[in-house]
Amino acid sequence: MTELRGAVAVVTGAAVGIGRAIARRLAVDGAAVVLADVAADGVRETSRLVAADGGRAAVVVADLRTDAGVAAAIDAATERFGRLDVLVNNAGGGGHLPPHFPDATPAEWGALLDLNLRGPMLATQLAIAAMRDGGVVVNVASTAGLGHRAYQSPEYGAAKAGLIRFTSSLTGLPGRAGVRLACVVPDWVATGRAQAELAAMTPAERSRAPEPIPLGTVTDAVVRLIRDDTLDGRILVLRPGEPARLLPTDG
């Protein structure tokens, strides 16, 4: 079992929502946390909240769509805390913002791919090199990357599908590099943005909307994937009103 107490973790996209909740949970469980995000005010507020919880944090203000930004986040772990044990690739999003493919320009949909897929892949590659004593990478995907139905943002769905398959493709990495990957795949999560979307709905729309997944359910899932060393390359799906479900490994 991988222990969080005394570990050093990097959480990307830590300024708000899921990333902030994950960072706070890892800190409460005893990890020192590097908080990486492009939103300076938000990530500094996360650091303040971690400190208020009794935890330790370092802040990296960086654009995680860029190679330099990703490298800064990973390098900060060893520079500030001397090691790296856990990486949570949470930075992402943008699938709700138009324009979408094919109306979006290549630069627009390319930037979304950089944030949601290329950035996590690069962060993982750099983390593998930095995790000298082994470690764990947890990717945060989305149910937008599952299934066959039409989706408003094809580029976002493709990026999240790619992140899921990237994770499972690296099954067996512990034997080669001592680093294990896993992926959590949540549906709609009860972030501030989700609550605002619910509030903007009509009563009829609200009655048809699924209940957002509590942030605590997501953080519990991330901690489970970090701690359970048998979950190599596994994909954990979180849907409203259903228990967490590991995708089968034979499909």
pLDDT per residue over 18-68, tens digit each?
A: 999 999 999 999 999 999 999 999 999 999 999 999 999 999 999 999 999
Mean pLDDT of all residues in 199-219: 82
Integer Cα distance of 201 and 207 in angstroms: 9
First to last CA, the chain: 27
pLDDT of residue 245: 97
State both tokens at 1: 């079992």
Range name among 103-112, 157-166, 198-207, 216-225 with the lowest pLDDT average:
198-207
Backbone CA torsion sign across 42, 131, 219, 161: positive
The pLDDT tens digits of the residues spanning 83-132 come to: 999 999 999 998 888 999 999 999 999 999 999 999 999 999 999 999 99
The answer on pLDDT for 142 being more than 70 is yes
Please give the CATH topology (third level) of the domain spanning 8-237: Rossmann fold (3.40.50)
Q: Could you tell me the two tokens for 147?
A: 């299934």
Question: What does pLDDT average to over the chain?
Answer: 94
**Among this protein's residues, is 156 annotated catalytic?**
yes
Which pTM does this prediction carry? 0.94
Beta strand segments in the chain, E: 8-12, 32-37, 56-61, 86-89, 135-140, 179-186, 235-238, 245-246
What confidence score (pLDDT) does residue 125 get? 97
What pLDDT is attached to residue 197?
74
189 pLDDT more than 70: yes
Per annotation, catalytic residue among 156, 162, 225, 226: 156
Return the pLDDT at 194.
Answer: 62
| Pairing between β-strand 245-246 and β-strand 235-238 as defined by DSSP bridges | antiparallel
Q: Which has the higher per-residue pLDDT, 179 or 94?
A: 179
Predicted local confidence at residue 47, as pLDDT:
98
Residue 251 has pLDDT above 70, yes or no: no
What confidence score (pLDDT) does residue 209 get? Answer: 76
* Percentage of the chain lying above the pLDDT 70 cut: 98
Beta carbons of 21 and 218 less than 8 angstroms apart: yes
Give me the mean pLDDT over the 229-233 stretch: 96
pLDDT confidence of residue 31: 98
Residue 76 is predicted with a pLDDT of 98
pLDDT band at 235 (very low <50, low <70, confident <90, very high): very high
